[in-house]
Structure 1
Amino acid sequence: MTSRPPLPPFTEATARQKVQAAEDAWNSRDPERVALAYTEDSQWRNRDVFLTGRAEITAFLRAKWERELDYRLRKELWSFTGNRISVRFEYEWHDASGRWWRSYGNEQWEFAPDGLMARRYASINDLAIRPEDRRLRA
């Protein structure tokens, strides 16, 4: 069994490390890399989509980044306790027609003792933006 430090229970410093690691992984836009942070049977809610397990997570992320082009994300620690972390985030992307979007949301994370994420619940809203209003750039 592989562990994914830092491990719960989290301190403010280790919660911030988890949030930064997640931001870095998601900005890689590598579905396989991102999926390795989750337990084999991880449960997700992403907007109105419910997923279970790494295979479903990987497929979901692959489709996401085929549709959400030039994706760039920022996460911010909101709160933490024991084996749970809450974050707020925003990301920007454009669709195939070139229209830019900023997506805002909150995530609730629950971790297994080995530091892998067992549950991720995300609520997300999208806002159309002009290209000149972008804030997140590579």
Structure 2
Amino acid sequence: TLVEWAWGGFSVDNPTVTRFFALHFLLAFAIAGLTTIHLTFLHESGSNNPQGIVSNCDKIPFHPYFSVKDILGFMLMLLPLTTLALFSPNLLGDPENFTPANPLVTPPHIKPEWYFLFAYAILRSIPNKLGGV
């Protein structure tokens, strides 16, 4: 079936998650490529309004100079960002984010509220294999 071909079956395990991640990762690049092709053809042929009136005066002439200029600008902006990320990644970071982890203390953002404690106690009393926690 289609599910077995695309995902490797109906179970959600490591190959399924890997395929899911790969397809979603590649989808962004596919959309970016289709957008580039769309803009290129839009520059070459222009677009008409829904009434069908030809708007030759509004067409933008396409020349490779524009694409080269845009790609060069993108690369020149990407170069400092890549250099910063690769050579000094912590330069723009917040030093407050680097608190050492203490496995003996529960972080405040995941401490349960006091009125849920009875539910946690009940769930902890159920063995894990029977659906407890």
TM-score (structure 2 length as normaliser): 0.23
Between Structure 1 and Structure 2, the one with more helix by share is 2
TM-score (structure 1 length as normaliser): 0.22
Between Structure 1 and Structure 2, the one with more strand by share is 1
- The structure showing larger relative contact order (alpha-carbon pairs under 8 Å, at least 6 residues apart) is 1
